[in-house]
């Protein structure tokens, strides 16, 4: 949405200087400010309620229609028949007039695009290539090609050349016919003093536009002589110059603005004098703006497109003193409080224009008027100097001061804020609200910074109260209406309480981050410790087995393999826990930075609103400790080796292998973690298990697929929250160590470690598997232990097209549960509980595992068949794939522990 700036119109100081007294000037200034503010609000409201078609589309369509007229025009000009040739000249003239009048008009005001780069590009194209004029002069100086004619007759607003020796009729009727020649010359005159690059660009672009039309006339229209092509260009480009120049003159004069004693005044006089004139629909369409209205609105609001100017609402009626003419010396007949007929007023205005046109034929008139204006300015008191002296006496603005929104050139401290206008005013600009009865219903309060954010949208009162129940800032009316009966506090007290909580939370976070960094350092050191310890045990084994010679070789190899296998498992466990802790540490540091940033916010309302948003997204700050008990377990292996060497030489092979394996199974080698509360944990063992869907949502987690792990037959969409099996179509994923190579599987980016967690997934297609596994799962192997159904550290649920089945360690447990299109996965890591639920009107338990988890768990998915789909959804989100079938109760054997699963194997 484009923002319509509220600007001061030109000449305000001139009007103030010519007043009869200070009070009268202040009253007129206040009236003008009031009219301008109301007009700005009307225009802003109109723009905000408009569509792109109204803001840009209509004007662009007219320009596109003009471009579409060019090909048939060139073709018609190639005809040897007079009728078709004349139609081609007319069509070419219409197209050129629309492009050079409407196009340059929109481009000079920057109304074709909100992007500065595109606006500059369009200005160069329409003004220089199409209009043969200077884009810099048109945009920065508001000087367009028609001013070359309006200025020489003394009626323009940006004088270039003035030749008062020639009769005015020459410039009114003859000079416009030479527009194609005068316009580039005026452009060249404005290039004086500009940078060389700008001059070169303008010359090249103007030459390109002229030569393009000439080349097309020669090669497309078939003109045989250069003289004929140039004459055709002159006729087409000058065809509509006379009527448009007269329209522009009428715009710059304005009926009510013209003064018998002076030249037309500036934009603020046009504002008060002609804002309410009727529009002409024909001229609106041809030239893109009406005689007076749109021209004035483009000066006041330059970024409005032509169509938005035509859509502008009815203007507020100016005060009585401004309705007359808005000019000094304008003779208005006395009305004694009664309005005269419109026809009489119009006749008087026409007489004034005719008299002034006669008087202005004197070439010395403009010079005399300028001298008179200079004398009046010298005699009039300098209000500008007085204002500057008063502002100099005021204290300088501080960083916390609210600035008046109406003081553009020299910002002043705001005295009040209007909740109706949503604008802050200084003492001078506040007067209309205090004196004008139209503003008596406006609500004035102490100055507010960012008033829209600190004002209630419903009641337009300041946000002074914080609702503890809904965690939002409200006004006094909200306390008795929408938030009636809620626990509320003043924003200052609410901030104090929340700041106290944040300080406590921050101290807990410092401890948690420190503990996390220490745990990561321990895990990094533990990798070296594992290798050193295993090397020592390997030396003991080798020294013992050397005594047994050939019989011992077989036992030696097998025991060494067992030990190395345990080493790899220990390293995988250490790596998995380290990655998780690093991830948690980064999240905690990010949360800590957010809390510090939140505490620095000085505004109470912003602080409370940002805190409410942060609190909803705040992560759990609990973190486990790490306990490494490696040496005790390795010493037990060494003792077994030495004792067996002495006692079981005869039964060497069987005894060593069985006892070592039994020792490893009963007392796992590797890293053991013990959880202790660094800070208060999110979960507590005394909290009952969730029962309803709302209970599960308390532990919900946002999960997304890890693109680096996805098999090449799996396509990820919707920001990595949906995966589809596209067999046999592969996707150009890079080869990474993390990517599954043989099994069509994908892991999630997030991991679960300690505490309770819950996520939901929509599944579609026979052979879809949903489960959890360790990060150490093999990615490249083709064996069954690389699949989430075939190893002892993965737990998953399969939909086979008829019912669900549970898989663990290569063992399938049929469940006999009918289909659910959405599956909820719940885990309590501390208790070793993993459960799958069917999500429907009620939560239906499908299957449950009980196990001892040694590493962080990652959500894992296997899409075994073509067109299988899994979509990760935000818990509670409407079903995305299919409507769920009516849920059924699980069978009696739905709850199976890990021990039972192993027994089945």
How confident is the model over 32-52, as a mean pLDDT? Answer: 70
How confident is the model over 621-648, as a mean pLDDT? Answer: 70
How confident is the model over 7-30, as a mean pLDDT? Answer: 48
pLDDT of 150: 47
| Other residues' Cβ atoms within 10 Å of the Cβ of residue 789 | 23
CATH class of 693-904: mainly beta
CB 52 within 8 A of CB 2: no
Q: Is the peptide bond before 497 cis (omega within 30 degrees of 0)?
A: no
Query: Does residue 894 surpass a pLDDT of 90?
Result: no
Which percentage of the chain shows pLDDT scores above 70? 64
**Cα–Cα nearest to 692, from 559, 532, 845, 808:** 845
- Tens of pLDDT along 718-766? 999 999 999 888 898 999 999 999 899 999 999 998 889 999 999 998 9
Quote the tokens at residue 728. Answer: 């046999």
Query: Does residue 147 surpass a pLDDT of 60?
Result: no
- Tens of pLDDT along 580-619? 888 888 888 888 888 888 888 888 888 888 888 888 777 6
pLDDT of 304: 63
CB 777 within 8 A of CB 738: no
Residue found by looking up tokens 């070592």 in the block: 660
CB 222 within 8 A of CB 124: no
Range list of H helices, 363-475:
365-379, 383-393, 427-435
DSSP state of 259: B
pLDDT of 773: 95
Tell which wins on pLDDT, 347 or 617: 617
| 713-719 long-range contacts, CB within 8 A, separation 24+ | 713/744, 714/744, 714/746, 714/863, 716/746, 718/871
Which percentage of the chain shows pLDDT scores above 90? 18
- Tens of pLDDT along 86-142? 999 999 988 888 888 788 778 877 777 777 788 888 888 888 888 888 887 777 655
DSSP state of 173: I
Element (H, E) at 632: helix 631-647
pLDDT of 394: 55
Residue found by looking up tokens 């030696």 in the block: 556
- Tens of pLDDT along 848-861? 999 988 889 999 99
Specify the range with the lowest mean pLDDT, choosing from 367-376, 502-511, 515-524, 544-553: 367-376
State how far the Cα of 212 lies from the Cα of 209, in Å rounded to an integer. 5
How confident is the model over 500-526, as a mean pLDDT? Answer: 84
The chain-wide mean pLDDT, for the chain, equals 73
Terminal Cα distance for the chain, rounded:
66
Element (H, E) at 466: strand 465-467
pLDDT of 762: 93
Query: Does residue 31 surpass a pLDDT of 90?
Result: no
Domain extent listing, the chain:
1-49+259-325, 70-253, 504-666, 693-904
Query: Does residue 476 surpass a pLDDT of 50?
Result: yes
Q: DSSP E strands: which ranges in 840-902?
A: 843-850, 857-863, 869-873
pLDDT of 561: 85
Range list of H helices, 380-490:
383-393, 427-435, 476-480
Query: Does residue 527 surpass a pLDDT of 70?
Result: yes
pLDDT bucket at 625, cuts 50 / 70 / 90:
low
Buried b (16+ CB within 10 A) or exposed e, 50-61: beeebbbebbbe
- Is the full-model pTM beyond 0.85? no
């Amino acid at each position: 949405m484009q923002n319509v700036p509220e600007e001061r119109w030109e000449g305000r100081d001139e009007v103030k200087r010519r007043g009869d007294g200070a009070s009268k000037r202040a009253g007129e200034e206040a009236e003008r400010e009031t009219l301008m503010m109301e007009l700005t609000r009307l225009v802003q409201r109109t723009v905000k309620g408009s569509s792109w078609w109204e803001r840009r589309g209509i004007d662009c369509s007219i320009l596109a229609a003009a471009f579409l007229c060019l090909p048939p025009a060139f073709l018609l000009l190639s005809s040897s028949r007079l009728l078709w040739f004349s139609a081609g000249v007319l069509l070419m003239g219409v197209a050129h007039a629309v492009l050079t009048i409407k196009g340059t008009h929109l481009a000079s005001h920057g109304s074709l695009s909100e992007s500065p780069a595109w606006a500059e590009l369009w200005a160069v194209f329409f003004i220089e290539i199409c209009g043969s004029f200077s884009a810099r002069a048109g945009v920065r100086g508001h000087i367009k090609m028609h001013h070359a004619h309006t200025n020489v007759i003394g009626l323009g607003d940006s004088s270039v050349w003035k030749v008062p020796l020639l009769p005015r009729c020459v410039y009114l009727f003859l000079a416009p016919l030479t527009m194609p020649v005068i316009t580039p010359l005026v452009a060249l005159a404005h290039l004086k003093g500009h940078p060389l690059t700008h001059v070169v660009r303008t010359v090249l672009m103007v030459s390109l536009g002229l030569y393009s039309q000439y080349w097309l006339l020669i090669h497309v229209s078939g003109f045989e002589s250069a003289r004929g092509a140039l004459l055709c260009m002159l006729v087409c480009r000058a065809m509509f110059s006379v009527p448009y120049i007269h329209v522009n003159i009428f715009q710059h004069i304005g009926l009510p603005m013209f003064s018998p004693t002076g030249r037309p005044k500036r934009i603020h006089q046009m504002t008060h004098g002609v804002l309410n004139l009727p529009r002409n629909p024909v001229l609106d369409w041809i030239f893109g703006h009406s005689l007076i209205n749109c021209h004035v609105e483009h000066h006041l609001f330059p970024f409005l497109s032509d169509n938005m100017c035509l859509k502008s609402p009815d203007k507020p009626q100016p005060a009585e003193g401004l309705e007359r003419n808005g000019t000094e010396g304008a003779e208005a007949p006395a009305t004694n409080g009664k309005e005269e007929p419109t026809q009489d007023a119009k006749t008087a205005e026409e007489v004034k224009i005719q008299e002034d046109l006669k008087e202005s034929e004197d070439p010395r008139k403009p010079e005399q008027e300028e001298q008179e204006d200079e004398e009046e300015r010298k005699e009039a008191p300098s209000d500008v100097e007085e204002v500057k002296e008063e502002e100099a006496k005021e204290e300088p603005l501080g960083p916390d001061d609210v600035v008046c929104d109406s003081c553009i050139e020299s910002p002043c401290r705001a005295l009040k804020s209007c909740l109706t206008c949503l604008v802050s005013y200084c003492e001078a600009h506040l007067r209309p609200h205090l004196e004008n009865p139209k503003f008596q219903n406006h609500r004035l309060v102490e100055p507010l910074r960012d008033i829209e954010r600190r004002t209630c949208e419903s009641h337009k009162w300041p946000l002074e109260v914080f609702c503890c129940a809904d965690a939002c800032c409200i006004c006094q009316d909200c306390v008795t209406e929408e938030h009636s009966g809620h626990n509320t506090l003043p924003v200052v007290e609410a901030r104090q309480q929340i700041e106290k909580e944040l300080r406590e939370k921050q101290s807990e976070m410092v401890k948690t981050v420190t503990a996390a960094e220490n745990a990561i350092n321990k895990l990094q050191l533990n990798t070296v410790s594992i290798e050193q310890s295993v090397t020592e045990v390997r030396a003991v084994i080798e020294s013992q087995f050397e005594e047994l010679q050939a019989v011992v070789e077989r036992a030696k190899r097998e025991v060494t393999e067992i030990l190395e296998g345990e080493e790899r498992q220990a390293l995988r466990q250490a790596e998995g826990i380290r990655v998780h802790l690093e991830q948690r540490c980064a999240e905690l540091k990010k949360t800590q930075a957010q809390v510090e940033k939140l505490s620095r916010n000085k505004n109470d309302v912003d602080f409370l609103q940002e805190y409410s948003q942060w609190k909803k997204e705040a992560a759990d700050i609990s973190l486990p400790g790490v306990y490494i008990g490696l040496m005790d377990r390795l010493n037990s292996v060494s003792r077994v080796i030495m004792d067996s060497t002495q006692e079981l030489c005869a039964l060497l092979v069987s005894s060593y292998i069985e006892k070592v394996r039994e020792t490893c199974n009963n007392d796992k080698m590797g890293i053991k973690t013990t959880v202790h509360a660094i800070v208060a944990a999110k979960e507590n063992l005394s909290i009952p298990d969730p029962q309803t869907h709302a209970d599960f949502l308390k532990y919900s987690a946002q999960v997304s697929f890890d693109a680096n792990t996805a098999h090449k037959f799996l396509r990820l969409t919707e920001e990595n929250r949906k995966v589809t099996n596209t067999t046999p179509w592969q996707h150009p994923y890079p080869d990474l160590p993390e990517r599954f190579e043989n099994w069509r599987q994908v892991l999630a980016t997030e991991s679960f470690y300690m505490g309770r967690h819950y996520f939901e997934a929509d599944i579609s297609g026979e052979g879809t598997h949903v489960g959890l596994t360790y990060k150490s799962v093999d990615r490249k192997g083709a064996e069954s232990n690389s699949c989430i159904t075939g190893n002892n550290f993965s737990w998953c649920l399969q939909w086979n097209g008829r019912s669900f089945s549970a898989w663990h360690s290569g063992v399938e447990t049929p469940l006999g549960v009918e289909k659910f299109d959405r599956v909820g996965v719940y885990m309590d890591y501390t208790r070793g509980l993993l459960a799958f639920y069917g999500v429907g009107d009620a939560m239906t338990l499908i299957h449950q595992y009980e196990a001892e988890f040694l590493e962080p768990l990652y959500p894992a998915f296997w899409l075994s068949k073509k067109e299988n789909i899994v979509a990760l959804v935000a818990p509670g989100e409407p079903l995305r794939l299919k409507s769920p079938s009516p849920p059924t109760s699980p069978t009696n054997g739905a709850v199976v522990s890990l021990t039972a699963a192993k027994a089945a194997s």
